[in-house]
Amino acid sequence: MLYRTMLALSACVILDSAYARAGQQGFWISANTDTYSSIMPIAQLLDDLQGSKLDKGTYAYSHSQIEIGERRENLELVLLTRMDDSYEFSEDTASYLYLDKNDLTIPDANYNLRLEADSLRAIGIGAGYHIKPNDRISSRIGINYLYAKKMTDGTLSGSLDASKGEISGNLSLDYTYSEDRIFDRVSEGVTGHGLTLDFDIEAEINDRYTLAFQARDLVSRIYWNKQTYTEAQSVTRLYNLEDGSYLSIPGLERYERNRNHIQSLPSRIYINNQFMLNEQLSASVNGFWYNGNFQPLFGAKFTSDRFIYSAGLNAETRAISLGIGDDQFTVTLGVDNIDPELTKAITAKAELRF
């Protein structure tokens, strides 16, 4: 099933690090991952939903990326590899799948099911151009070319009725993929090519307040030529018996073909409000939107003679992050629970600058 590929993945990012290179020249290497599951611990998702009762939620996602880049004057070039997994679903979908996977009794009810899956594995090259019209405003435009071999982009929707231990209903599936995880269709090795657009702008409103905006995958288009896809529809056939009664038999109509497909990636948008409390201490009130899902973030940063220390709280995921860095390196790590079996949110970032 599609939900077996669900990976939970996070957002507890402090935006201060987003502009760490804004005024810096030179070479850098960075790696980051953000993971969040709104309905259950990550370990439980990876264990086929086996475990404790679900929390309320409608999405889970992951973004991981490794970069090697260099900036000279206003221009930067980047080599990158990235992994993205995004899943949005109705609460009925999560509840029904949890009951089914844990062999629990499914209460009599109507379940409205919806599951949207969007995943990508890609390598690429990016170019960014920095613009600084004056001392208080700086911006960046980035374009990334991606080459991909693995993807999933599909929707499962419909409704199921549970009554006295019997399950009936109608489901439809529209599912484009490089690897068929449902019906085990043989992979044809199709590759995809595309572009993504990034945009940053930072304004120093006064000596104590800075406003910043950052958008990743603001626009994205990945083109797949003759990619494999499956459309399926559950059907119920009625047969007229000789005694005048009817026999109802559920079935599945499935079509496997190839088509040209355009895949879009979820956007990631950050807004940062940073307040300088004194020469060493600053506080920030931030917002993060993953594909339209909002998460409020709060952060603080302290600058000593040698290091910059940071701390942050994601009010949605309840994850706390801590970081340390200077002009040459930055390390940030955050979780919502130190018990790996209960962790729902993870963020980690490491960067070296030369």
Q: DSSP assignment of 264-289, as one string?
A: -PPPEEEEEEEEE-SSSEEEEEEEEE
Look at phi and psi of residue 13 and say left if phi exceeds 0, alpha if psi is from -120 to 50, else beta: beta
Residue with token string 């000789």: 242
Round to whole Å and give the CA distance between 148 and 125. 12
The pLDDT value recorded for residue 163 is 84
How many residues make up the chain in this entry? Answer: 354
Positions in the chain whose pLDDT score sits under 50: 1-22
> pTM of this prediction?
0.86
Per-domain residue ranges of the chain: 2-353
Round to whole Å and give the CA distance between 54 and 99. 10
**pLDDT tens digits, residue range 64-91?**
999 999 999 999 999 999 999 999 999 9
The pLDDT value recorded for residue 237 is 55
Containing 302, the helix (H) or strand (E) segment is strand 293-303
The pLDDT value recorded for residue 343 is 96
Q: Look at residues 263, 266, 289 and name the one whose alpha carbon lies nearest to residue 217.
A: 266
The pLDDT value recorded for residue 15 is 39
> For residue 30, what are the CA distances in angstroms to 132, 217, 351?
24, 18, 4
Token digits of residue 216: 């990743």
Paired with 15 in beta bridges are none
Sign of the torsion formed by the C-alpha atoms of 63, 66, 71 and 75:
negative
In the CATH hierarchy, which top-level class contains the domain 2-353? mainly beta
SS3 state at 17: helix
Number of H helices, E strands in the chain: 2, 16
The pLDDT value recorded for residue 169 is 83
